[in-house]
Amino acid sequence: MLHRTYFKVLVLALAFAFCAFVLAGCGYFRDPGTPVAKVKDHVLTLEELRAGGEVQRDSLIHAVEAWVNHEVLYQEAMGSGIQNDPEVAWLLRDAERKIIVDAFMRRFDKSIADPEEGELEAYYEKHKDQFVRIEPEFRFRKFLFSNLQIAKDSLKIIQAWPDTGLDSLHFLPLSHVGKCIAGVSATLQANAYSIPQLCNGQALVIKLYGRKAAGELLSFEDARSQVTLAARIERKNHKLDSLLLEAKSRQAVFTWPENLPPH
């Protein structure tokens, strides 16, 4: 009898241990976090605040206060039954539909593969007149000096220096260059040096390597990023049209244009 009782206790203990293992694996015994505030049965944890980017004690205190105020107002609103107001109910349904459609479209966007090289080139050839340089661009090197006199004394020296590191020099648009440097560069021929200048309080000499005018058609390489974006949008629109066509055949869609008001 004693052995039988001991066996039952052992079986129950093993069963309880197994259940505890399963529940822990499912998250039932997982640490819920460090509570910092509670309104009714809604709990705010320190981990949630930190996940939102709050780290300093003062900002955490303000965040807790804001959460409590918002949660209290929410509970008061729900307790008043405002969610049953026809206008509020319509807004909730409308918001839910928008959230669902937005989530669906984000997933749809991720399903669209980037255009391949051949597709990009074909798109560029078909629409190349759309890709125009908006502002002039300059490729130059800037030599800075402590004052204008030193710049004048050093001009012949820097003109004798060999050009190195040209691969690191890229064309920059006017908006990045600034009006003063752009104005100086606009007076130079390619591979020419400017006379020493004062630009924005700096004494400098500029060597211009190239200039591209606004209004010129962009080459494929210069327009690559714009072409990629435009070709991807076109691909997305085509895929969306196909999706809508298929979806309309699956859904019960009816329209009554005759019920619309006249012109």
d(CA 117, CA 218): 17
**pLDDT value at position 14?**
40
User: pLDDT for 223-245, tens place per residue?
Assistant: 999 999 999 999 999 999 999 99
Whether 196 and 180 have beta carbons less than 8 Å apart is answered as: no
Helix, strand and coil content of the chain, in percent to the nearest 5, comes to: 60, 15, 25
Question: Phi and psi dihedrals of 111, rounded to 5?
Answer: -80, -10
Confidence grade of residue 83 (pLDDT, cut at 50, 70, 90): very high
**pLDDT value at position 44?**
92
| 183 within some domain | yes
| 170 within some domain | yes
User: Two tokens at 26?
Assistant: 């499912």
Instruction: Specify the CATH number for the domain of residue 187.
Output: 3.10.50.40
Neighbours of 124 (CB within 10 A): 22
Question: Phi and psi dihedrals of 252, rounded to 5?
Answer: -85, 100
pLDDT surpassing 50 at residue 4: no
Give me the domain span that covers residue 153: 133-212
| 26 within some domain | no
| 113 within some domain | no
**pLDDT value at position 54?**
79
d(CA 133, CA 210): 15
Q: Which residue has the tokens 């619309």?
A: 260
Higher pLDDT pick, 102 / 20 = 102
| 189 within some domain | yes
| 150 within some domain | yes
Query: Of the candidates 5, 26, 30, which has an alpha carbon nearest to the alpha carbon of residue 18?
Result: 26
Q: What percent of the chain has pLDDT over 70?
A: 88
pLDDT surpassing 50 at residue 208: yes
User: pLDDT for 111-169, tens place per residue?
Assistant: 999 899 999 999 999 999 999 999 999 999 999 999 999 999 999 999 999 888 888 89
**pLDDT value at position 1?**
47
Whether 53 and 82 have beta carbons less than 8 Å apart is answered as: no
User: pLDDT for 178-188, tens place per residue?
Assistant: 899 999 998 99
User: pLDDT for 24-77, tens place per residue?
Assistant: 444 444 457 899 999 998 999 999 888 888 788 888 999 999 999 999 999 999
**pLDDT value at position 31?**
58
Q: How many folded domains does the chain comprise?
A: 1
d(CA 161, CA 143): 12
pLDDT surpassing 80 at residue 10: no
DSSP-derived 3-state class of residue 202: strand
Query: Of the candidates 125, 118, 143, 254, which has an alpha carbon nearest to the alpha carbon of residue 203?
Result: 143
Q: Report the Cα–Cα distance between both ends of the chain, in Å, rounded.
A: 95
User: Two tokens at 227?
Assistant: 């072409």
| 181 within some domain | yes
d(CA 198, CA 179): 12
| Vertex 218 angle, CA 217 and 220, to 5° | 130
